[in-house]
Structure 1
Amino acid sequence: MTTPSGRTGRPPLTEARKAEIRLEIARAAVELFVAQGVAATTGEQIGQAVGVSARTVWRYFPSKESCVRPLFSAGIDVIAARLREWRPGHPLEDLFGPDLATGLLAATGPDGPTGSALVRLTRTEPGLRAIWLQTYDEAEPAFARALAHRAGLPADDLRPMIQAAMLNAALRAAVERLAWRADEAETDAVRETDVAGALRSALVIVAEGVS
């Protein structure tokens, strides 16, 4: 095949397709990590599960642990987008209803038990823990920008920065607590309710402040 530039071969992948491949690799990595552990999982196995070579896996990710990053960051993106849309004057905890929980679960991809198992692995796998914490660290500025936009404040205003730090820590603690106590027999409906309830409770606690 000849491309418009005169070169032969496959046409370059679009950014959307690259994102799809990254997510496919992430989901395959999660399934393998949960099934057989991180140490026993190889780049070749991850690639085979997706139908690509190990070389392709390493082209998208620097390590096997980093393969799960799209699943962690997808949920953060959903929350940041909702924060930007949330109207001032409405309680922030109301943001986390069942519809947002559904969006979060859909964005991360694996079914509930697998997603919870992945978060539980961050407790015992240092490599996954580093990716998990780094994702939240990078999410904080996104939350701050969203909160500043919502309040009509400059992006570098101290208030949304502090609010974002509180929100970030509360969300991570809520998700970890929920995952570490998860019951694999739960239905999807129960899981969505639990996710929404945990996130709402976290924001209520944040709103109460430190006494």
Structure 2
Amino acid sequence: MTDAPAAAAGLRERKKARTRIAIRDAAMRLFTEQGYASTTVEQIAEAAEVSPSTFFRYFPTKEDVVVADDYDPMILAAIRAQPAGMPVLEAVLQGMRQVFGSLTEDEWVSEKRRQDLFRTVPELRGRQLQAMVSAVDMLAGVMAERMGLPAGSAEVRGLAGAFVGVALAFLPPGRPGHFEEGDLDRVREALVGLRAHLEPLEG
């Protein structure tokens, strides 16, 4: 009997995850078929077989269907799971490598559609810039945990900002094509080179 509440909670979470995926899949299909601007929340809800109010429980706006990155929680969990003695930037890279390396072909197709929308829909570009700021906040939080420092410290935020900036040079939103195998290796190489240029500032 003691396992029943946990089982029920797990079932609810799986149902919520399926609903969220159904809404996003329906939205992406409609965006492809009839264009982003011509697609309404009501049409997405109908295609996903949910009510508009249910849509808004999962996505506050139509833009959020595209902007919200469902992989962020997975990346945070993977970074936290890296060995305690691993350097913080290596932990971030390894966490990202594990998450992206586990995606199915269908998940890659869905992510490519999402990135194509950033490239082709002007209304989404401003929201993507906001998402970049949120990415710095997210990484600063998990880096601070591993480094034993406040998330708002200059060292942590500077490190998180540097990582996001370097990553954008190789993984820009809306890049045609898809995530490539060597991208994270290039990010790592660039970070090593950046460190060499920053060393003269020490002291």
TM surpasses 0.5: yes
| Partners of 2:27 and 2:44 within 8 A in 1 | yes
Distance 1:98 1:60 in 2: 27
Is residue 2:41 matched to residue 1:46? no
- State the Cα RMSD in Å: 3.1
Distance 1:83 1:127 in 2: 32
Q: Identity percentage over the alignment? A: 29
Is residue 2:99 matched to residue 1:100? yes
Unaligned runs of at least 5 residues, structure 1: 1-13, 184-190
Question: For the structure 1 residues 151 and 124, does the alpha-carbon distance in structure 2 shift closer, same or farther, using more than 3 Å as the test?
Answer: same
TM-score under structure 2 normalisation? Answer: 0.72
Distance 2:96 2:41 in 1: 38
Question: For the structure 1 residues 56 and 97, does the alpha-carbon distance in structure 2 shift closer, same or farther, using more than 3 Å as the test?
Answer: closer
Unaligned runs of at least 5 residues, structure 2: 1-11, 198-203
TM-score under structure 1 normalisation? Answer: 0.69
Question: For the structure 1 residues 169 and 26, does the alpha-carbon distance in structure 2 shift closer, same or farther, using more than 3 Å as the test?
Answer: farther
Question: Where does residue 203 of structure 1 map in the other structure?
Answer: 188
Of 141, 156, 162 in structure 1, the residue corresponding to residue 158 of structure 2 is 162
| Partners of 2:93 and 2:188 within 8 A in 1 | no
Which stretches of structure 1, 4 residues or longer, exceed 4 Å deviation after superposition?
14-20
User: How many pairs align?
Assistant: 183
The within-5 A match list for 1:40-189 is 40-70=38-68, 72=69, 74-87=70-83, 88-90=85-87, 92=90, 95=94, 99-103=98-102, 105=103, 111-176=107-172, 180-182=175-177
Which letter does structure 1 place at the counterpart of 2:63?
A: E
Distance 1:98 1:164 in 2: 17
